[in-house]
Structure 1
């Protein structure tokens, strides 16, 4: 897993190189025309596990930049629902292996109902890639560890590029300078991930303190909530520590009753417009005895006034900061598992590709 964490900058660089030429996004290989993009009235993102978390994050970016309604669906639930689907919608199915049973079944259902379908997959020639109308490949290379890292990061990049292309085709992003800015920000992500990895020893030290934790709560709002979902999954699946992710504003609706002295609460704080709100929610947890960890970008040093431990990531456009914020959480999960003497690459009861229900 650590090897694959360190391979993320290259996986992102290779995926960017496939779809960006100079300062232009080229999705001709994917096959969605400008006319197709203009006619899309809704997007359904369908996935399982970490791929669903990618969808949750892309939802916020897609709705804001392309101004198209988005629904993110768990494939295992979506395939059994009886509901009307927008005939002009685009169904985006995300899967690392391209063989995930529920995602494949959901793809077949949307195909039968006549929706345009797009697969974001890592394995060339996989079932989902073959059966979708359009395919956007992540160039992550083989991923062996059960807990996904580099495939997740490459899927995010595909989601960003698809968003920008749809926004451009739909007339929502017409300023070429703005488009160039977004592309350059995405291109800067690999180098910024390398910077985070260069400073991982501090996270290793902190993770050694987590090995006796009984439960951990990850909280955030907007994109930070999506980051929290993935961070929580990484922690629980390889360290076996019970962890949950919550939209920070939902704490008062029951969850805060679980906070007691010493409970670890990790707050993701990368979104400027939601920063103060989430800090306020974290302070409420602290007043009930929680140990607070803040994850934010360099420059927001006032977070140290409230948090017991702070993790910083480099600045990037806030639409794309999830690609950076997830890296420390991957490392925390990894180092906590190692501190407990567990098999990081093959956690109990889990398979790399879920090909049965």
Structure 2
């Protein structure tokens, strides 16, 4: 995840900006930079690679000034080099940006038609230039930013520094987090409390859609409709803990809300957002053109991600896939003569059964690949090819953001495989990557359903059993949703392919049984509706997760309906995972269980 810091201080801020960025290194990055003002003049230093490279630049050519912004970047649009590093600047301002601007191409074409030019390949620079045009047309900094925000599509957080004004920072968030820190005669902006912890423990968190005008005297906060709003000051514990819960009650809730941002960064490793073409993460080489069959293995939530991955590879790349729980794969002694690639999925990269399965595949002479969240892990070191997910540290035992990052990585890999094999042409690749780029925004939209889900959870907490049903991409989600519910609320839940309802589970249906149905309006929607009718006929309580088109069909009466936006089919597993996570979370909260550390479970299972 990228990191943002902004300081209006009383002394030279460059060293403090770098210190704050060091506290954000855990989020991962491939370049860094800072910009400051002195006597109203804007200057900046940027460097590819680690912060030590930026520090070396500053040692050779220091930056004075008591106001500035800084950034650590994971490349999404454009390669990781100095030209693409943040802050991006014009004669009027500098900006740092986390997230993805989905409509940057349209905005860039509009600006180019007015004669504006660009120095980088990034979507972020478009924001700087657009605000600049608004100011060139006579708007002040506030109005220029406000009008620009209304044109941006996607999930993002932003911090602006303006030439000639040494008392002003402007920040905004939509999806990606941003916090305001209040000091004595100083003010701060940061991605989270960790960045701000050396300077203050008084933190206000912007809510989704908020933007803020920060001066030396304080901060004004506005909502998406430009109405003044108040956000409470919270006392951060960032000094005491390396990773902070921020304004969330539990780490799990915080990690659910981090998904728009981490999805954007993971996607940037697999898709060049400038061209819309898929790619492998830097330094990794794998040609799918000769791959006829893939053996995939994982455990727990990683297994359900792998099951979605099988659907992706078979649908979009036409590659046959075998899938096994790692604890079975390692002992089943599967003949692998016709397998060309063994793929393993793990959050920690240390899961004992998955690691043993990888070693078994290597012993059989197979090329191995791993989708992992910890790049220094054993699985990452021993696999031939590594596909990192950039979810950042996941503290909650129940996996959330790591799961959706695994899904988006697997989706991008399947598209890449389809291109390599000639199954997907150039136009098809662009269409699919454009769909994937919508994931951060749509996940952010799904988070807005939290209020309705919290009400649903109050009902769910009164039951001791639940069924989850889905077809196609929604079948693995049914199992993952059931797993989430059982592991943190301790309610017995089972996930089934909806077509299997009549093969046994229907015997459990009565008026006391909630049946959670995941049914986007896709090509199997009508078949899922038939299963819902079978539940309704037996008095079952139907909880429907669908989209606007599915809700409009109104085929079956439900006890609760959670309605998400319509979306491309490739995105449904990623986006629908989020309300299922929220359902499990709020049910567990209602029941008073230990959400982050449920009984009998460990984050990484390193023994059999």
| TM-score tier (shorter) | over 0.9
Matches within 5 A, 1:1-357: 1-21=252-272, 22=274, 23-27=276-280, 29=282, 31-34=284-287, 37-174=288-425, 176-270=426-520, 272-300=522-550, 301-303=552-554, 305-357=556-608
Comparing 74-83 with 191-200, which one deviates more in the overlay?
Answer: 191-200
Summarize deviations over 1:202-252 as a string: whole Å, max 9, x none: 111111111111110000111110111111111100010000001111111
**Secondary structure of 2:542's partner?**
strand
- Distance change in 2, residues 1:287/1:310 (3 Å): same
Summarize deviations over 1:33-58 as a string: whole Å, max 9, x none: 43xx1111101110000000001111
Q: Distance in 2 between matches of 1:24 and 1:213?
A: 47
Summarize deviations over 1:73-103 as a string: whole Å, max 9, x none: 1000000012311354211100000000000
Residue 317 of structure 1, CA deviation: 1.3
**Secondary structure of 2:480's partner?**
helix
Q: Distance in 1 between matches of 2:544 and 2:449?
A: 16
Higher relative contact order (CA 8 A, sep 6+): 1
Residue 178 of structure 1, CA deviation: 1.8
**Secondary structure of 1:209's partner?**
helix
Q: Distance in 2 between matches of 1:216 and 1:179?
A: 39
Number of aligned residue pairs: 354
Contact 1:196 1:313 in 2 (8 A): yes
Q: Distance in 2 between matches of 1:25 and 1:302?
A: 36
Q: Distance in 1 between matches of 2:468 and 2:266?
A: 29
Q: Which has the higher helix share?
A: 1
Residue 299 of structure 1, CA deviation: 2.1
Summarize deviations over 1:313-349 as a string: whole Å, max 9, x none: 2222112211011111100000000011111000000
TM-score normalised to the size of structure 2? 0.57
Contact 2:264 2:440 in 1 (8 A): yes
Unaligned runs of 5+ residues in structure 1 are none
Comparing 57-66 with 307-316, which one deviates more in the overlay?
Answer: 307-316
Residue 304 of structure 1, CA deviation: 6.1
Q: Which has the higher strand share?
A: 2
Residue 302 of structure 1, CA deviation: 2.2
Summarize deviations over 1:162-200 as a string: whole Å, max 9, x none: 0010000000001x2221111111011101111111231
**Secondary structure of 1:299's partner?**
helix
TM-score normalised to the size of structure 1? 0.96
RMSD, aligned CA: 1.3
**Secondary structure of 2:441's partner?**
helix
Structure with greater Cα Rg: 2
Contact 1:30 1:136 in 2 (8 A): no
